[in-house]
Amino acid sequence: MSSHRDLVFDNGFARLPEAYYSRVCPTPVPDPYLVCYSAEALALLDLDASEMTQPELIEILAGNRLLPGMDAMAALYAGHQFGHYVPQLGDGRAILLGEVKNSRGEGWEIQLKGAGRTPYSRGGDGRAVLRSSIREFLCSEAMHALGIPTTRALAIVGSDRPVYREEEETAALVTRLAPSFVRFGSFEVFYYRNQVESIKHLADYVIARYYPELAGRSDPYPEFLRQVSLRTAGLMAQWQAVGFSHGVMNTDNMSILGLTLDYGPFGFLDAFEPGYICNHSDTSGRYAFDQQPNVAAWNLTKLAQALVPLMSVETASAAIGDYPQAFNQAYIDRMAARFGLPPGRDTAGLAMDALQLLARNRIDYTIFMRRLCDFDSTPGTLNPALRDLFLDRAGFDSWAARYAAALRQNGPGDAARGQAMRTLNPKYILRNHLAETAIRRAADERDYSEINRLHALLTRPFDEQPAYEAYAAEPPDWARKIEVSCSS
Ligand code: AMP
Ligand code: MG
């Protein structure tokens, strides 16, 4: 472990031509203070938690100071937002400070979200509020702990500088880490500007650094596109299996590495509701929970189109052609495993029938799946802990009889199956109301202990943590009123 002063910067993105970004420094904020940090994310930079007591590091994470070797910039991109092409977006409030090479040889880009205006801010103020920063911080680290590819969050630094949204709030910056923040939209911008060389150069950069197994090929682009589509399929399977809804699946929020990127009005399912819309601004339900796999497919067609200058239309469309099958397979395999069943058509049918029952009975998805780990497959057992969740007891009983028979036929026995399932079906997820409680305490009382408690809880989502039983419960009534929108 070393000091932040010893961080070694090797800024790959900054070596690209200036077409891809604008150099811009963060705008300082007054009197920054540390809100929370992730020791695990710090370790990615070989930094110890004790570094967080260094006032200089807080100044850096507030955007008030740069370290030697940093090369601050905002990246250019475009994207399809709610189906419509927007020719210029870009990091409007995120500033890339540089890329650290850690002792394991991994490169981690360090980005401050909420660091002030950039040439891509359009009408925005370049800031992020404490509320949305807490949500992004907690969810990034929770997703990682769930085993879902994601950008990481290192820390939140706050400042009492006011930020105006629907009402006055205070500013905060999230330090995000990722191998790369390149998005589908990073390619689209050059396609629509007809700048083929810039598409090619960016593709070469991404392939060389993040898809190195393709780098030696004479024509790596079709396989690159295919790999992106497969990673995206895998990510969608994970989102659907865990019940995560992103909320704003615009192409500028789609990572070229298949990471969960840009946490805004996301939400986890409480009651299983296929058409769940977590984003209050998404009036048409374009990004409803059950639309996500199809939206990702549509977004891939936009990426494919942007790469068409590097291959024929037929090749591009063939490269993303495996997406539906890859998604289905990954999703079915994962769901079968979450149900403790071997993959296969019959078991997928059982799982899908269970989801229909959950939807009809409005049953909490996470609670059901966790209780399923204790399912007793002995003939004639009622499994009351599960059964009592259902209004339609007969519906549950007939499903449970089929499930029990399948388990008896296939399974390794209830105990071993349950143990395996408990590593796949989390007990704790970042429910909106849990985040909301942490946000209120932080905003109203400057009490960050609830953030830390949630963060610690959610880094071990599969473990029973008896002191926190209440955090695994269904949302309380007041939680129904929580609305999250794009405003952040
Ligand atoms: P998002 O919906 O958060 O992915 O943002 C879409 C675009 O709007 C991106 O280019 C963001 O950088 C930009 N943006 C969002 N909020 C702000 C803000 N407060 N100030 C400047 N740009 C912003
Ligand atoms: Mg975004």
* DSSP per-residue string spanning 74-117: EE---EEETTEEES----SSEEEEEEEE-TTS-EEEEEEET---
- pLDDT given at position 246: 98
CA of 92 to the centre of ligand 1 (A): 5
Residue 122 predicted with pLDDT over 80: yes
CA of 322 to the centre of ligand 1 (A): 32
Calpha distance 190→184 (Å, rounded): 11
Q: Helix (H, G, I), strand (E, B), or coil: what is residue 380?
A: coil
Mutate to test the pocket of ligand 1, among 77, 93, 112 (most ligand atoms within 8 A of CB): 93
Which run of H or of E encompasses 157? strand 152-164
Residue 484 predicted with pLDDT over 90: no
- pLDDT given at position 486: 73
Catalytic one of 48, 160, 219, 252: 252
Residue 480 predicted with pLDDT over 90: no
Residue 183 predicted with pLDDT over 80: yes
pLDDT band at 2 (very low <50, low <70, confident <90, very high): confident
**Residue whose CA is closest, atom 8 of ligand 1?**
92
Q: Residues 418, 373: contact at Cβ < 8 Å? A: yes
- pLDDT given at position 31: 97
- pLDDT given at position 483: 80
Q: Residues 206, 180: contact at Cβ < 8 Å? A: yes
Residues lining ligand 1, CB < 6 A? Answer: 89-93, 120-121, 124-127, 248, 253, 262, 264, 486
Residue 166 predicted with pLDDT over 80: yes
- pLDDT given at position 211: 98
Percentage of the chain surpassing pLDDT 70? 100
pLDDT band at 68 (very low <50, low <70, confident <90, very high): very high
pLDDT band at 94 (very low <50, low <70, confident <90, very high): very high
For residue 123, the ligand closest to its alpha carbon is 1
pLDDT band at 410 (very low <50, low <70, confident <90, very high): confident
Chain segment 185-215, per-residue pLDDT in tens: 999 999 999 999 999 999 999 999 999 999 9
To 5 degrees, how large is the angle CA 97–CA 101–CA 105? Answer: 155
User: Which residues make beta-bridge pairs with 22?
Assistant: 74
- pLDDT given at position 458: 98
Q: Average the pLDDT over 322-349 and give the result.
A: 94
Chain segment 260-293, per-residue pLDDT in tens: 999 999 999 999 999 999 999 999 999 999 999 9
Residue 1 predicted with pLDDT over 80: no
- pLDDT given at position 345: 77
Calpha distance 229→211 (Å, rounded): 13
For residues 412 and 319, the model is more confident at 319
Calpha distance 318→170 (Å, rounded): 48
- pLDDT given at position 40: 98
Query: Average pLDDT, whole number, for the chain?
Result: 97
Q: Residues 320, 328: contact at Cβ < 8 Å? A: no
For the CA of 128, the closest atom of ligand 1 is: 19
Residue 411 predicted with pLDDT over 90: no
Q: Average the pLDDT over 213-223 and give the result.
A: 96
Is the pTM of the predicted complex or chain greater than 0.75? yes
Residue 336 predicted with pLDDT over 90: yes
- pLDDT given at position 488: 80
